[in-house]
Amino acid sequence: MRRSYGVHYFLGSRGSRHFNLTAKTGPLYVDLCRSWLSRARSVPLSLWVLSLVPEDILHSITDLVRSLSHQWREISLGAGVSLSIFPNEGTYPCLERVSLGSFPPPAHAPMLSFRNAPRLCSVYFPRWTSRIELPWKQITKFDSGDIDIEDCLEVLHHLSNLVEVHVRIPIFDSFVPPADTILLPQLQSLTLGAPYHHEEDHGPAAQTMPIALLACLKTPALKTLAFGTTLCNTSVCDMAPVPIILDILLDCLKATPTVVDLRLQITLHIPNLNPLLVKITGQSDFLPKLETLYIALWGEPPIVDMSLLLTALLWRLCDHNQFFKLIRSHPVYPVLEALAEDFYLGDRTSEDATSSV
């Protein structure tokens, strides 16, 4: 079992639930936070700072947390927590993960620099800006809820050791692709998000965004590909759909033959899923390593041949005999068997020579 050394604290949230913070009790709460943190001594700290306390108390907590920046292992800030919590030209010898809830510094503010964070590997920014400095070669996980396509490509060019990336590109129009393909030799997981706009706002340019980005990348180790903006960290179901048409989707999947886990949250630009199922079923060179497929579509239900769907599932099973009994017991199985003219499930016998899966 892996041990995790450090101390974890929630500041500015849980206290507000247990105490009625007033002008008198507020300082007592800050003293309580100071007492808790002092127990950590020199142990690395994982801190979640939220803003559900009066402003003057939040300022005091911010000052307290800033004074301990040399012990931060993880720092996560809620919306409304000032970025002044980061010391100017700070040094973070223990820092491994950063998650911001506030937008990056405005033009008149100092640069937000993590250059002196020798262990930093995971970052989340609600909106990316060039006013943030990172130790590029160290970062293995990059997450941004709002980034322009040009900035995205520039960031990926610098982050050559990425393993996992989540980006949402809210506006996509024509752009000049880089002269050379960006090689990400260690990238294993790519989540590509779309605008939070209504369906009518998704024009032809937005529908080409996924393939335009993938065409700029070389990802020989990619295993997980997800189209859709992650809205929480618990489930792929909580994602905003990506506008895309079938031909472009197929081009994207042809360009990622190493994918094992495919998650698609897409819009009603694809009314018929059967061509995709045919590709999955009949071509061994189309996503040859695929093991998991998740599809969610917005809008009217798409056309899906259920017999073709089961056939696609069986085509992908390495040892499918163990699944036959389970599938046959499903209520939909006799319906499929009665409706489909060319449907067969199980080991073939001489009597079934004319049937096909």
Gap between the Cα atoms of 25 and 18, Å rounded:
12
pLDDT score, position 118:
97
- 91's CB contacts (< 8 A; 6+ apart) are 69, 70, 116, 117
Closest by CA position to 150, among listed 120, 186, 175: 175
- Out of 79-93, 134-148, 318-332, which region has the weakest mean confidence (pLDDT)? 318-332
Buried b / exposed e across 306-323, counting CB within 10 Å, b at 16+? Answer: ebbbbbbbbebeeebeee
Reported as half-sphere exposure (CB side, CA atoms, 13 A), residue 326 has a value of: 6
Of residues 78 and 340, the one with the higher pLDDT is 78
CB 120 within 8 A of CB 134: yes
- Out of 4-18, 29-43, 312-326, 334-348, which region has the weakest mean confidence (pLDDT)? 4-18
Q: 338-348 pLDDT, tens per residue?
A: 655 555 555 44
0.85 exceeded by the pTM? no
The token pair that represents 135 in the structure block: 């130790």
pLDDT tier at 70, thresholds 50, 70, 90 = very high
Proportion of the chain above pLDDT 70, given as a percent: 68
Mean per-residue pLDDT, 151-178: 88
Q: Three-state SS for 316?
A: helix
Q: With 80 as the cut, is the pLDDT of residue 308 above it? A: no
Q: 111-131 pLDDT, tens per residue?
A: 899 999 999 999 999 999 888
pLDDT score, position 290:
87
